[in-house]
Amino acid sequence: MKMIVLVTGATSGFGLAMVNHFGSNGHHVIAIGRRVERLNDMKNKLGSKLLLLKLDVRDGSEVQKVLRSLSHPFSEIDLIINNAGLALGMGPANKAQLSDWDTMVDTNIKGVLNCTSAVLPGMVERNRGHIINLGSVAGEFPYPGGNVYGATKAFVHQFSLNLRADLLGTALRVTCIEPGMCGGTGFSEVRFKGDVKAAEAIYAGVDPLTAQDIAETVYWVATRPGHVNINVVSMMPVQQAFSPFAIHRNK
């Protein structure tokens, strides 16, 4: 069955890989981002199956207006992938900038809420649909400097599970995808505010996950039989695992 797929944060990283993967498999894709010119090559490749929308997911009223006024064949969304998100900074909470915290909350939490709220009523009315939210292992396993970023992803995890509880009795599905270390997406460059050396150091000597790994996992989840719901997918590169508890010892 071919789907109408909405991808947020579609202009780079995970989102761009997912647009390509779903589009290349014959699905119609609505690609949302703030830099849609990055998708011009994809538009040439996918043609009328791709709809580009320059939209900031943090703007709730505009998201509602645009997504609820889509025309055929993009109006009946089968799958929304809430992918837009970011991390800013990796210092301790007492040295963090409040503006960075606000941006992460507005994007990682409110962006998910804004887009979900816009498409969910139609999915329930049609009794057909799938919501896939991009969380992170940081939402379950804390690390120094992860403060608000990890907290926003913990929200995404719990919101996904609560949606499942609310939607019991419908045919709708909800999944939270929670990747670990993933390279080549621009995520760390954004986190370190353009400091390429600091970003590259994170992945030194590591074979991390790739955007294609995430896109293929999302595609697998989205194409399971209708009676199957994958609640949560937690995934890491083989070279990443879990640290012992940190102990600060008095001298």
Burial category of 156 from C-beta neighbours within 10 Å (exposed 0-12, middle 13-18, buried 19 and up): buried
**∠ CA 124-129-131 to the nearest 5 degrees?**
105
Report the sign of the C-alpha dihedral through residues 230, 9, 15, 192, in that order: negative
Other beta carbons within 10 angstroms of residue 158's beta carbon come to: 13
Query: How far from each other are the two terminal CA atoms of the chain, in whole angstroms?
Result: 64
DSSP letter, residue 138: G
Here the tokens at position 20 are 């390509």
Residue type, 110: K
Question: Which helix (DSSP H) or strand (DSSP E) does residue 218 occupy?
Answer: helix 211-222
| Residues classed as catalytic | 149
